[in-house]
Structure 1
Amino acid sequence: MTETDISSSELKKEIRRKMLALRRALSDDEAEKKADRLTEQILSLPEYQKAKRIMAFLAMKGESNLDRLIALALSEGKEVYVPVCLPERQMEAGRLLDMDHFVKGPLGLRDLPKGYDTITPEELDLVLVPGVACDRAGNRLGMGAGYYDRYLSRVPLEKRVAALWDFQVVEAIPSEPFDRKMAKIVTDTGIIVTKRG
């Protein structure tokens, strides 16, 4: 391992530590207001308006919350899918039929009950991606397990949109060959078209 690898990995750890602390510091009231504004920003995206099949995510505490957006998408007749973690750090998209249809997963997370329908990554029209942080070049920092990077390798770049709180957009994130970039970043205060290449 080279010196650059070590510093890149250390920098990612430092950004992760700082961002998770900021997320934990958000009050429920602040998070709810931010979630409403984030929903409005996503609703304004042409990519969202045209999409018939969307992959979203079920937020953990402090994470950018898409519950209201998911409920609206379902009421508009869009198909909504959420990530389901599989062995060997793989992931699939399971269809969510309504906002009450969950089982409690590990760490108190919401999971789909068994028997859900799936869709291939290539069939999705839009993938809303969570993250710990993103930079304006479209580099994304996740929790470090690589589930999304593996999954997004099969999703065209233009369909990948990060959904984050505004403070999670940072100056720069070290990027490695297996990291998947975002085409846009949507936050509670605006939409960033990433400066790629």
Structure 2
Amino acid sequence: MLNQTKPELRRLLIKQRRSLLKKDWKEKSDQLCQNLKKYSLFQQSKTILSYFSFRQEPDLSLLWSNTTKIWGFPRCVEQSLTWHCWQPGDVYEINRYGILEPNINLPQLKPGEVDLILVPSVACDTQGYRLGYGGGFYDRMLSLPEWNSIPTIGIIFDFAYLPQLPIDAWDKPLNAVCTESNFFDLRV
């Protein structure tokens, strides 16, 4: 797959993800959540940044209920992300991309309050590099000094865990990758 460009690979993998039957998608998502819950990096974190599933990304909603953790979700503001506390029952909106976002009036989280970032990804590779959607929102955020020391976990399904991705100079590897069947701690 390395001979494909990022846009080609992105199209192929999103198409594959969206072709999952709803039942299989939900089952894989729930398995991924159970897998993630087992790892110390997740267990020890008190404040976690997550995302609302879009275009059949793994659904992490199983993690949000019955928990003592504080959850943060992104809002797209121009070319960056702001993070707001959100829990089931709180208000959310749909942004211009069709993605759910927490209401702007919910409390905002600062980098120093965050223990872990669950990063939505189209694909990840064995070195921790991530293929995103091409907007650069996470790349820009994770390159900032106040964010780049917070542990990151790429969230993908098994088929999107690849041996190698095409990378650019600005790409930063994630610390770990979680799929429905495995957890890869890449902090070696």
- Are 2:137 and 1:147 aligned? yes
SS in 2 for 1:119: coil
For residues 102-142 of structure 1, give each alpha carbon's deviation from its aligned partner in whole angstroms, at most 9, with x where no partner exists. 22333543221231111122321010001111100011010
| Counterpart pick for 2:30 among 19, 36, 47 | 36
Structure 2 counterpart of 1:161, one-letter code: I
For residues 44-93 of structure 1, give each alpha carbon's deviation from its aligned partner in whole angstroms, at most 9, with x where no partner exists. 1101111110001101131111111122xxx3221100111111x11111
Pair 1:174–1:195, CA change in 2 (3 A): farther
In structure 1, the partner of 2:61 is 67
Q: How many residues align?
A: 185
SS in 2 for 1:106: coil
In structure 2, the partner of 1:181 is 173
CA distance in 1, matches of 2:156, 2:89: 21
Q: Which piece of structure 1 moves more, 135-144 or 112-121?
A: 112-121
Q: How does 1:42-57 map to 2 (within 5 A)?
A: 42-57=36-51
CA distance in 2, matches of 1:122, 1:63: 27
CA distance in 2, matches of 1:96, 1:27: 28
- Tell me how far 1:98 sits from its aligned partner: 2.1
In structure 1, the partner of 2:69 is 78
CA distance in 1, matches of 2:55, 2:89: 17
In structure 2, the partner of 1:22 is 16
Structure 2 unaligned spans of 5+: none
TM-score (norm 1): 0.86
In structure 1, the partner of 2:96 is 106
In structure 1, the partner of 2:182 is 190
Structure 1 unaligned spans of 5+: 1-7
For residues 140-165 of structure 1, give each alpha carbon's deviation from its aligned partner in whole angstroms, at most 9, with x where no partner exists. 01000100011112334561111111
CA contact (8 A) 2:74 2:102 kept: no
Pair 1:57–1:9, CA change in 2 (3 A): farther
TM-score (norm 2): 0.90
Pair 1:159–1:99, CA change in 2 (3 A): farther
Structure 2 counterpart of 1:129, one-letter code: V
- Tell me how far 1:15 sits from its aligned partner: 1.1
How high is the sequence identity, in percent, across the aligned residues?
Answer: 26
Pair 1:166–1:118, CA change in 2 (3 A): same
- Tell me how far 1:195 sits from its aligned partner: 7.3
Structure 1 counterpart of 2:64, one-letter code: I
What is the alpha-carbon root mean square deviation over aligned residues? 2.0
